[in-house]
Structure 1
Amino acid sequence: MTQVTARLYKQGDKVWRDFKAELITRYENAAILDISESEAFSKIEKQEFNNLIVVSKKAIAEKRAVAGVDDSDILKTSVNTGLKKISKKRKEARAKYARGIAEAASQCDTLIDVAKRIGKSTTFVKRVASEFEIKLPRHNNGHEEIASR
């Protein structure tokens, strides 16, 4: 399966450090390793352990291998993280304009006047107003706003 480096394995009074083994199975907090090809264990020790040992996940150096993350997930994870950062920046930008929209909405008669005063589109003003629950003028260029929009 996957070759990993185990930092530590203790059995009785014997200790093995920094050895390579094949990852067989992952569990929540442990993993089964195949030591048949490992040079750290003698032939007798391999027979005693039946070529398999169970080690803590903390004792394995390659965290990605025991976490169950495939290389195919790396791109998806980075893309999702990037999208979250972008949406967070956009939300912060909308929050920055919310105070100005609230002030302009109280002083202007139409939605277009509010948008002109802020320097943004009416769609942006509506989105920010709905997100931050800001009451906007009911008239748009002297005509009453249609509720279904």
Structure 2
Amino acid sequence: MTQVTVRLYKQGDKVWRDFKAELLKRYENSAMLDISKSKAFSKMEKQEFNNRIVVSKKAIVEKRAVSGVDNRDMPSVALISSIKAVNKRGEANRKKYAVQVAKAASKSKTLTEVAKRVGKSRSFILAVAEDFQIKLPRHNNGHEEIASR
């Protein structure tokens, strides 16, 4: 897993400072570490501790590793930027069709008719109308639309 550096660990009268260990498990205020590869502990100490110790999160230098936000948990920068780009394209697309939706809404009696005139789906027409406060026809194929829309 993740290798972390521990500033201070006390057990009885012994003190260990600035050693590296593998993070096994995170708890609310502490973390379980694997010390089997750590050079700070002797073979007897490793055996005595069963190759594992529990350390306070305050004693660990790498706060991100123990706070539950590993690099594996974070989405990549490329993914985040692509999501933002898709959102911007969607906004631009809705802006582009706002005028057409407004014109079609004034000439049509139903929401489906507006969608056919613009050439887009009903859900897209509803999204555009909501973004730009366009008044849509209240009837949809003979059935009255919900007044909140």
Question: In the alignment, what sits opposite 1:27?
Answer: 27
TM-score for the superposition, normalised by structure 1: 0.50
List runs of 5+ in structure 2 lacking aligned partners: 109-117, 144-149
CA distance in 2, matches of 1:7, 1:87: 42
Distance (Å, rounded) in 1 between the aligned partners of 2:141 and 2:2: 65
> Are the equivalent residues in 1 in contact too, given 2:2–2:65 (CA < 8 A)?
no
**Deviations for 1:76-122, whole angstroms, at most 9, x for unmatched residues?**
x3486356424531454367569x649x948x9526xxxxxxxxx45
- After superposition, the Cα gap between the structure-2 partners of 1:129 and 1:6, relative to the gap in structure 1 and judged at 3 Å, is same
Deviations 1:19-41 (A, max 9, x none): 23233333233221122331112
Q: Quote the residue 1:4 is aligned against.
A: 3
Tell me what 1:117 maps to: none
The equivalent of 2:87 in structure 1 is 88
The 5-angstrom pairing of residues 1-149 of structure 1 reads 2=1, 4-11=3-10, 14-17=15-18, 19-43=19-43, 45-46=45-46, 49-57=49-57, 59=60, 61=62, 63=64, 67=68, 77-78=75-76, 81-82=80-81, 84-90=83-89, 92-93=91-92, 96=95, 101=99, 105=102, 109-110=106-107, 121-123=118-120, 127-136=127-136, 146=141
Give the % identical residues.
Answer: 40
Q: 1:134 to 1:39 in 2, by over 3 A?
A: same
> What is the TM-score normalised by the length of structure 2?
0.50
1:31-84 alpha-carbon deviations (Å, 9 max, x no partner): 21122331112345445645322124461538458738685x77xx34863564
Letter in 1 for 2:55: V
Distance in 1 (alpha carbons) for counterparts of 2:63 and 2:21: 12
Is the Cα–Cα contact under 8 Å of residues 22 and 35 in structure 1 kept in the other structure? yes
Q: How far apart, CA to CA, are the structure 2 residues paired with 1:22 and 1:109? A: 66
Moved more, 55-64 or 35-44: 55-64
Task: Give me the CA root mean square deviation.
Answer: 4.7
Q: In structure 1, what is the Cα distance between the partners aligned to 2:65 and 2:134?
A: 46
* Counterpart-to-counterpart distance in 2, 1:83 and 1:147: 41
Alpha-carbon spacing, 1:109–1:48, altered in 2? closer, same or farther (3 Å): closer
Gaps of at least 5 residues in structure 1 are: 112-120, 139-143
